[in-house]
Homo-oligomer: A and B are copies of this chain.
Amino acid sequence: MNEFGLIADLVLSQTVTRDDVLCGIGDDAAIIEPDLAIACDTCNEGVHFQADWGPHAIGHRALAVNLSDLAAMGAKPTHALLALSLPELDTDWLSDFKKSFFKLASAYNVELVGGDTTRGAMSMTVTVIGRVLKPLLRRGARVGDAIYVTGELGAARLAYEASKGRLAPQTEILRRVMHTWHYPTPRVNEALAFAPYVHAAIDLSDGLVADLDHIARQSGVGAVIDIDKVPVAEALKQTVAGDEACRLAMSGGDDYELCFTVSPAYHNDLLALAEQCACPLTRIGEINAGSGVSFERAGEAIDLEIKGYDHFARS
């Protein structure tokens, strides 16, 4: 959660509470009785994407980031609604947008059941619906749990920094990380596979440290990351030397990997599942009785100043 959203959400707090809401505002998705998960995320041009990414990437991303929210909730996606605003009617643009949006929807048997198409600044708000077998909440972490992340972190951040001219990866590396940034892969099937073991989960949109901090705060626990264990994207390591790569990987957003906690007794079961899913899975730390996110190296606490990825602060 960036500062903008955090403050806005605080102001918008409400009073109505219904008995059929099993999980309301404050997690990756809401859960409504008996098993309906629902979430919506907006992608705005100039904030979450640039128009020059092209409609194909934009269409993929608009749905992918929402499916990632359902994944983090342990929900199987079923339906979507698309509210699309465009400054002008361009059927070629729409056609390319549609290709990637529906390709991703088809991959999960998601039917688009509604929405709105209107004139306005380029923006898409996707609402996704899914069914939950076992809800994966942010608030379920327990002291002693091991902390895991899927995939590699920091490729999207490298692409973002390169787009701002602040980092200059090699051409081939740049091409790859741009693709990773523009086409995030929601970890839907992986989340459903890991779900029976998971105590708490979140998807990484604002960066590992910021997002893991949500789990820590909402669970009333602390989280320690062993910074030598963080799966830093190869591309980032090849571009940035030493600990700075790890720092970027932990603070960089837009990874759309999963972070979750599990009793350490199931470590081998998880690794076996990860292999079945062909999903890289790394144990990066532990839940303790403290608070917030802290760091260690070779068993020694170290100080790091890491903030989340703030869309509002981007320039």
Contact = CB atoms under 8 A, between A and B. Distances in A.
Contacts of A118: 4-5, 42, 44, 47-48, 311-312
Contact of A16 (B45, B98, B109): B109
Contacts of A9: 117
Interface residues of A, number: 67
Contacts of A123: 85, 120-121, 123
A112 B5 contact: no
Given A105-B16, A129-B38, A112 B79 contact: no
A114 B25 contact: yes
A95 interface: yes
A114 B39 contact: yes
Interface in A1-56: 4-5, 7-9, 11-12, 14-18, 20-21, 24-25, 29-30, 32, 36, 38-42, 44-48
Given A21-B111, A30-B79, A42 B12 contact: no
A257 B30 CA distance: 31
A7 B119 CA distance: 12
Given A11-B98, A94-B8, A83 B125 contact: yes
Identical copies of this chain, number? 2
Nearest to A41: B116
Contacts of A38: 79, 81, 113-114, 127, 129
A47 B89 contact: no
A245 interface: no
A76 B244 CA distance: 54
A215 to B, nearest CB: 18
Given A18-B79, A102-B15, A4 B119 contact: yes
A111 B31 CA distance: 12
A86 interface: yes
Nearest to A127: B127
A225 interface: no
A12 B94 CA distance: 7
